[in-house]
Chains A and B, each alone.
Chain A
């Protein structure tokens, strides 16, 4: 089984430096492209590989690039940005790539920048990834030194600048247009589309924002071709995927696997099954903002289309497992607390709706829930749907809630009927993290 993205990652040693990276074929793709491919050819190749955005939306990457205005009329500078603001709860796959092989990301970004003829690139890094920040800074310096960045890269007339930008820890910055605003020094509120960033992005100039994992796929597609990349997959989406599993499994972790492995294989084989004494109750397949899948979905292929058909989203491909000893209401409350706190405050439904949902769930956990609360929760899952809010944050927040209400409704009812959380003793009421700090 080929693992192109993680092949050269060994967490027991420092990541490959530039020389070592070159020794294993690093930056070959950059040479190949600058020597003999036009930007549009690169776009086409990536489009043909059926590489889909790994940030969660699953849009064809090459197609996304093709919307960038090209030619002498196009506005410059154009920008290319790596979204490394990995803040989705339960998601830690980009971290592996960032800490494991930063040069792979830089190479992928150079190739992608060439494809759209970008002039300036940024890596927007999650604030907490301190180790990655050090490694990236060092790697960028190495790449400049070796002439892979800067003016006239490898004697071509094309040049690219690259900067590392570390965020301040807002989930909202993972949304590509909010990320752009943050990068401009403005409030991290999302922007309305159209215009899309490809046309009017960072500082109003053509911009592409891709996920770290997406960029990391690009060198391998260039080196090995579109068919090879498609052949890695077990489904129609091209390539391998970094899957992760967290929760009460025996071996939580992150693995590069062919796109389209089943949930069963992920949990039973790679995560080693559930910990002894714990039953699988459900899982969020792609981070906190995806719908629960349950045992009935055990054999669903983990690719964009199949997971969508099962009523959820592949998202980031990092699964959060819910076991039978964890209160599903508390679980969802914890998520809603996160989403309510991370709402940027721009649009009414998200800003006002999420805190209400959070309060209802906390109230329920404390044993004060009423049957009408279920109606209110149902109402929110509908009213905070896609299109009703300005961006996807609140609809994403509603995904675990609406599926929990669907699959675990009995557990919600028990909270109300019993007047307490069945998973907690009467004296032990759950505290929010912030409250626990205040004690």
Chain B
């Protein structure tokens, strides 16, 4: 490791870093703007100037930008040099010639990188006395607010939005001190990663528009470490509350998962917590005085539970704790996954593959570092957006790594490497049903019907390893294509295969495994990722319970059954006929949920459940990583309790052993580990509830939290005692341990002098590296050495079009398909209208054009949807909008009849 001298003191640093990275990793406060750990260096802002000396005797030195100069053994430089300091201060004064002095009314105030850097340089007096330039602010859609006058032209926004995230509708215009960052004209930002602009922007140009609706300064938020609830990736978030309202979601860095960014569904999809549609009070229906208090509810439970034949319906969006508490209540034999047999079957296949340990279940970070990626039949842009962003980085970084090597440049030399690399890309093979937003970086793009996707996958596997099954009935073109792709993948050192459930095709899942397994060598363990539908689909399926279909059979067979449904709207997972059948056959239905939905409407007993913001819980993401989300605040409504807490109380009532003891999550999880050993380690994903640092708990509120003594004065002038948290080591106060908490329990990032999110680096081993103490989460799938591979055998027949019938494939939408995120008004506004997409040929056959209405006959039910003609879909496949609010669950993967509607219908 090279030794560098900073202000004459020697420090050992990592080779290949620049002086800024090295200084920051060592804990020096060196200001910067345009550099970003995920974006690299471009040397534009000139803020990070230091003085470099020829040798130890040189006293003159020269000013250099520390972000543009690599570390070298024996290098001498000074951060404290007078000229360097004066220059850094001058940079701020220059920036301030046009930056408005509007901090008090700016959303960024208090968590503003520009404020921090201004203070850091010591700049306090502005000599500029002329007019500032002003700009027109644009309407950028309902998610991001634009205030261009505040811009300090660091170019981070366009570098993030265009280069990193692949967007093309945000750009930089004009020149000199009239440089403008925005869209060509007002309009909604098109990238589903636009929310990150609010965190990438060092000041208040791009801010969270949903936060603006109920604005609170960062220092006034009560915050907790959380995990995103909106897909199976499990991005780490910080959720912030004030006055009983969830105000904002911020990125919580996890080097293995989401790194510095979030998708817009994850960032903005939080408003269901504040929804008017929340279940506010326990209801016991069909009797006078439906709404009851807790005592009446418990009396009811006490009276009815001991004599009830209980079955439990779990949920892929409920925590492990809630699912397991339900299983405990009803008994292992009476617990059912709340998902249909098709989905359950496919998920079990995925788990078999991952649990075998013969292929490696990859994290997002490992995807980012892959040098070849094959996507098999999964529209990850819409079903796991952050995975798509990771794939993009892999494709770009592979080329960049190679380019940097050829040029002898370090990888942080962002602009130079991009210039050299031009359009070179790492291998990305995308075999999907239709076009994807990743297509612009895809090296091999193939659109096919689900069965043909699987066949190509099997053929690739066979080319890689002849012991994998040969695909019958193929032509030369098909075999050549398989061979070409196999050869390309075979060259990779870190190949990753991505697939998932959204094509509802078992063969695709098997084929993905076969390819990954056949890529294994003595030194290479191929990576695999399967995208699942919901945030805890993996955890639920790992419980190995029978599917919902079995529950339907059971209630049809047995009478007098009480079904306990936990956080599951059956109508989102099952065709409504199945859900109706089930509910009508139950003698009694007890439902727990946070929001009213079609299922809760039909429950006899409805119990309000806490959302992720009001309770604790553990989720298992697509890779098998267990992660804890912590309660953010104590809701004013006392009925908002975690389902698992209600369920434990119910069980105690049922067993009549209630003793008033507290039952923290780890107690439940330890029982889970004992009952189901595949969950080994899950009780350790979070700190025990009684953990403390020198007797101090971890505060959820920054020490600058204001108004505590007065904020409830309209109700009572006496300051209430802070709420106790018996489930975690976090406290609902500003007092407590002031140092950095362990990585799994960081409620917010802050460090003296660093009030913005950039303070995350003070929690990392190095800027952009792992969190100190390791990135949080415990993985429950482990690679096994020397595992004998058993390839799958049943290869489907080639896809053949059928007369007047189409295969139904769901089309998910990143903004719109989420059950909970749709409660955010802004997301609802951006959600598309449902449609059915077919090929141009099929449109001719059906004699329809864009916008005409089509009738779909699914299981004796008719759906009428407008048609969208898409050039990229193969004939015989119909893509139908899925997961939108009110959309019916269809029999995905089935052949259905489609007809043109007659005029007037």
* B-binding residues in A (CB < 8 A): 170, 172, 187, 191-192, 194-195, 199-200, 203-204, 340-349, 351-356, 359, 363, 372, 376, 379, 383, 387-390
Are A345 and B94 in contact (CB-based, < 8 A)?
A: no
Are B177 and A200 in contact (CB-based, < 8 A)?
A: no
Are B63 and A194 in contact (CB-based, < 8 A)?
A: no
Give the Cβ gap from B763 to chain A, nearest Cβ, in Å.
29
Give the Cβ gap from A354 to chain B, nearest Cβ, in Å.
8
On chain A, the residues within 8 Å of B409 by CB distance are 194-195
Segment at the interface with A among B277-285, B416-424, B635-643: B416-424
Cβ 8 A contact of B94, one of A340, A349, A359: A349
Cβ 8 A contact of A352, one of B47, B49, B95, B415: B95
On chain B, the residues within 8 Å of A194 by CB distance are 409, 416
Are A356 and B97 in contact (CB-based, < 8 A)?
A: yes
Given contacts A191-B415, A340-B177, contact A390 B43 (CB under 8 A): yes
Known contacts A199-B407, A351-B177, A352-B97; 7 further A-B pairs (Cβ under 8 A): A191-B415, A192-B415, A349-B91, A352-B98, A354-B176, A359-B130, A383-B86
- Identify the closest chain B residue to A385 (Cβ): B63
A192 to B414 alpha-carbon distance, docked (Å)? 10
Cβ 8 A contact of B44, one of A170, A203, A341, A347: A347
Cβ 8 A contact of A347, one of B45, B98, B172, B419: B45
Report which residue of A347, A351, A356 has the largest number of chain B beta carbons within 10 angstroms of its beta carbon.
A351
Interface residues in B, total, Cβ within 8 A = 41
Given contacts A192-B42, A343-B175, contact A348 B94 (CB under 8 A): yes
Are A387 and B175 in contact (CB-based, < 8 A)?
A: no
Give the Cβ gap from A427 to chain B, nearest Cβ, in Å.
23
Mark contacts of B172-203 with chain A using CB atoms, 8 A cut-off: 1 yes-contact digit, 0 otherwise.
Answer: 10111111000000000000000000000000
| B64 contacts partner chain A, Cβ-Cβ < 8 Å | yes
The B83-130 residues at the A interface (CB cut-off 8 A) are 86-87, 90-91, 94-95, 97-98, 127-128, 130
A389 to B153 alpha-carbon distance, docked (Å)? 15
Cβ 8 A contact of A383, one of B90, B416, B419, B420: B90
A355 to B86 alpha-carbon distance, docked (Å)? 20
On chain B, the residues within 8 Å of A352 by CB distance are 94-95, 97-98, 177
| B68 contacts partner chain A, Cβ-Cβ < 8 Å | yes
On chain B, the residues within 8 Å of A353 by CB distance are 94
Given contacts A191-B416, A192-B68, A200-B407, contact A348 B176 (CB under 8 A): no
On chain B, the residues within 8 Å of A187 by CB distance are 172
Give the Cβ gap from B18 to chain A, nearest Cβ, in Å.
12
12 contacts between A and B (CB under 8 A): A192-B43, A195-B416, A342-B175, A343-B176, A344-B176, A345-B179, A347-B45, A348-B45, A349-B90, A355-B176, A383-B86, A388-B63
Are B177 and A204 in contact (CB-based, < 8 A)?
A: no
Are A200 and B94 in contact (CB-based, < 8 A)?
A: no
Give the Cβ gap from A196 to chain B, nearest Cβ, in Å.
10
Cβ 8 A contact of A372, one of B86, B127, B174, B177: B127
| B54 contacts partner chain A, Cβ-Cβ < 8 Å | no
Mark contacts of B357-397 with chain A using CB atoms, 8 A cut-off: 1 yes-contact digit, 0 otherwise.
Answer: 00000000000000000000000000000000000000000
On chain B, the residues within 8 Å of A349 by CB distance are 46, 90-91, 94
Are A347 and B177 in contact (CB-based, < 8 A)?
A: no
A341 to B175 alpha-carbon distance, docked (Å)? 8
| B62 contacts partner chain A, Cβ-Cβ < 8 Å | yes
On chain A, the residues within 8 Å of B128 by CB distance are 356
On chain A, the residues within 8 Å of B130 by CB distance are 356, 359, 363
Are A387 and B179 in contact (CB-based, < 8 A)?
A: no
Are A351 and B91 in contact (CB-based, < 8 A)?
A: no
Given contacts A192-B415, A194-B416, A200-B420, contact A345 B90 (CB under 8 A): no
The B513-536 residues at the A interface (CB cut-off 8 A) are none
Are B46 and A390 in contact (CB-based, < 8 A)?
A: yes
Mark contacts of B62-81 with chain A using CB atoms, 8 A cut-off: 1 yes-contact digit, 0 otherwise.
Answer: 11100010000000000000
A344 to B409 alpha-carbon distance, docked (Å)? 26
On chain B, the residues within 8 Å of A345 by CB distance are 153, 174-179
Are A170 and B94 in contact (CB-based, < 8 A)?
A: no
A341 to B94 alpha-carbon distance, docked (Å)? 16
Are A346 and B44 in contact (CB-based, < 8 A)?
A: yes
Give the Cβ gap from B86 to chain A, nearest Cβ, in Å.
8
A268 to B61 alpha-carbon distance, docked (Å)? 43
A376 to B94 alpha-carbon distance, docked (Å)? 12
A349 to B178 alpha-carbon distance, docked (Å)? 14
Are B63 and A204 in contact (CB-based, < 8 A)?
A: no
Are B175 and A348 in contact (CB-based, < 8 A)?
A: no
A62 to B759 alpha-carbon distance, docked (Å)? 50
Give the Cβ gap from A68 to chain B, nearest Cβ, in Å.
14
On chain A, the residues within 8 Å of B416 by CB distance are 191-192, 194-195, 200
- Identify the closest chain A residue to B419 (Cβ): A204
On chain B, the residues within 8 Å of A172 by CB distance are 175
On chain B, the residues within 8 Å of A199 by CB distance are 407
On chain A, the residues within 8 Å of B172 by CB distance are 187
Are A204 and B422 in contact (CB-based, < 8 A)?
A: yes
A390 to B415 alpha-carbon distance, docked (Å)? 13
A340 to B176 alpha-carbon distance, docked (Å)? 7
Given contacts A195-B409, A345-B177, contact A389 B46 (CB under 8 A): yes
- Identify the closest chain B residue to A363 (Cβ): B130
On chain B, the residues within 8 Å of A383 by CB distance are 86-87, 90
A172 to B176 alpha-carbon distance, docked (Å)? 10
A172 to B86 alpha-carbon distance, docked (Å)? 28
- Identify the closest chain B residue to A379 (Cβ): B90
- Identify the closest chain A residue to B171 (Cβ): A187
Are B42 and A195 in contact (CB-based, < 8 A)?
A: no
Are B153 and A204 in contact (CB-based, < 8 A)?
A: no
A359 to B177 alpha-carbon distance, docked (Å)? 13
A349 to B43 alpha-carbon distance, docked (Å)? 12
Give the Cβ gap from A173 to chain B, nearest Cβ, in Å.
11
A359 to B128 alpha-carbon distance, docked (Å)? 10
A387 to B84 alpha-carbon distance, docked (Å)? 12
On chain B, the residues within 8 Å of A344 by CB distance are 175-176
On chain A, the residues within 8 Å of B87 by CB distance are 383, 388
Give the Cβ gap from A89 to chain B, nearest Cβ, in Å.
16
A321 to B95 alpha-carbon distance, docked (Å)? 35
A320 to B771 alpha-carbon distance, docked (Å)? 60
Give the Cβ gap from B645 to chain A, nearest Cβ, in Å.
54
Are B420 and A204 in contact (CB-based, < 8 A)?
A: yes
Are B46 and A343 in contact (CB-based, < 8 A)?
A: no
Given contacts A343-B176, A348-B47, contact A204 B421 (CB under 8 A): yes
Give the Cβ gap from B805 to chain A, nearest Cβ, in Å.
48
A388 to B62 alpha-carbon distance, docked (Å)? 9
- Identify the closest chain A residue to B43 (Cβ): A192
Question: Closest 10 interchain pairs by CB?
Answer: A352-B94, A345-B179, A204-B420, A343-B176, A359-B130, A200-B420, A204-B422, A345-B175, A355-B177, A345-B176
- Identify the closest chain B residue to A359 (Cβ): B130
A347 to B415 alpha-carbon distance, docked (Å)? 14
Cβ 8 A contact of A387, one of B63, B90, B419: B63
Cβ 8 A contact of A191, one of B97, B127, B177, B419: B419
Given contacts A195-B420, A200-B420, A383-B90, contact A351 B127 (CB under 8 A): no
A67 to B315 alpha-carbon distance, docked (Å)? 65
On chain B, the residues within 8 Å of A203 by CB distance are 422
The B411-451 residues at the A interface (CB cut-off 8 A) are 413, 415-416, 419-422
On chain B, the residues within 8 Å of A204 by CB distance are 419-422
A204 to B419 alpha-carbon distance, docked (Å)? 5
Give the Cβ gap from B31 to chain A, nearest Cβ, in Å.
12
- Identify the closest chain B residue to A193 (Cβ): B416
- Identify the closest chain A residue to B407 (Cβ): A195
On chain B, the residues within 8 Å of A191 by CB distance are 415-416, 419
Give the Cβ gap from B172 to chain A, nearest Cβ, in Å.
7
A323 to B68 alpha-carbon distance, docked (Å)? 44
The B37-58 residues at the A interface (CB cut-off 8 A) are 42-47, 49
Give the Cβ gap from B127 to chain A, nearest Cβ, in Å.
6
Given contacts A199-B407, A204-B421, contact A348 B153 (CB under 8 A): yes
On chain A, the residues within 8 Å of B47 by CB distance are 348
